[in-house]
Amino acid sequence: MKMKWAVVLCALVALSECLHRVPLRKGKSVRKALEEKGLLEDFLQRCPYNPSAKFNPSFAVQSDESLMNDMDISYYGIISIGTPPQSFKVVFDTGSANLWVPSIYCNSNACSNHNKFNPNLSSTYRSTSQTIAIQYGTGSMTGILGYDTVTVAGIVDTNQIFGLSKTEPGDFLYYSVSDGILGLSYPSISATGATPVFDNMMAEGLVSQDLFSFYLSRDGQEGSLVTFGGIDPSYYTGQIYWVPVTSQTYWETTMESVTIDGKVVACTSGCRAIVDTGTARVVGPTSDINNIFAYVGSYSQGSTDSLNCNSLGSMPDVTFRINGYQFSLPPSAYVSQEGSSCTTGFGLNGNNQLWILGDVFIREWFSIFDRGNNRIGLAKAVHL
């Protein structure tokens, strides 16, 4: 009798978990719903009619999300929202914390050429009366918040709050290849306090480790990815250098200095720095960046710079000292060339003293974002 009840209990627990991921529509059987979602076999294996069978309740995984490289300017992957799923290209952004996509309520130009979420087509969508407004360095959005099932890298994240845009003013988002943004920073900077996607994954026990890692390709090549719940050692060489998160807002740490040929040229008294997959360049205070320009032989031209392409062979490394470790960028990492025109990957941040170590830095340094230990791991990226 005890064995019989154990089997029944096992089935109820597993069925509860499966139905949590597969809400039933009216008139649809449990078996049919699980079968359509590919979960029937999993359910039967976990709760067979063998009372001695082992029951493993864990759905935690390590899973890769392939990222498209948009001319080394941004990296985006494809997620789905709703039941049945609606697909969207999103930037996986460690410099923000909210998930949002365009919606059918949006009439901005930026929404006219992107996929738009239609809540009326999703049987699992839940509306709210909450509004959301987010300002980025290169764009903004306003909209409403709702809940639905979000699938990322094959991980089914149920009951996820996200933004449905109603306005996306300006031109930047219009010309962006991606539809929306999936923020991966700390919940403390989330607009309206909405729970970020990765926090929901951790809370639901969907990832095998409370961390994710990024490998970014160069020169527009394929192969970029973000790994949720793990670290793939094939994308880096040597050791992982761990640096502490000093503010659980962005992925922020303390940088001690920026040096060229052993001479401190920027961040002379220490500074704050964030590792940000959503920013293309390495950005710093205007005076510091202009100093770097002078040392590498470039000169400022408004928001960008210019240099002699013939001098690439003699240009120096730019080294960032963080937590006592040296992270260098060779000219091949920070200079881009189009025809006879060359520019660096350094950008001006005005009087803002916050440094942003964007994709120019991350392409050279495989980056791990460890929420479980509030630290950032950096290792030398391997480019095939």
Residues known to be catalytic: 93, 276
Quote the CA–CA distance of 374 and 86 in Å, as a whole number: 33
CA atoms within 13 A on the CB side of 48: 7
Q: How many CB atoms are closer than 10 A to CB 130?
A: 14
3-class SS of residue 299: strand
CA 48 to chain centre: 38
Distance, in Å, from the CA atom of 227 to the CA atom of 214, rounded to the nearest integer, reads 7
Return the residue matching tokens 């095998």: 208
The strand ranges marked E within 230-361 are 236-244, 247-248, 251-260, 263-266, 271-275, 282-284, 298-301, 304-307, 318-322, 325-329, 335-338, 341-344, 346-348, 355-357
To which residue do tokens 């699980």 refer? 34
Report yes or no: 168 and 110 within 8 Å, Cβ to Cβ.
yes
Which residues, 6 or more positions from 156, have their beta carbon under 8 angstroms from its beta carbon?
Answer: 21, 149, 206
Report how far residue 187's alpha carbon sits from residue 265's, in angstroms, rounded to the nearest whole number: 34
Residue 92 to residues 47, 87, 142, 214, 249, Cα–Cα distance (Å): 36, 15, 19, 10, 16
Residue type, 347: G
For 240, other C-beta atoms within 10 Å of its C-beta total: 16
CA gap 342, 44 in Å, rounded: 60
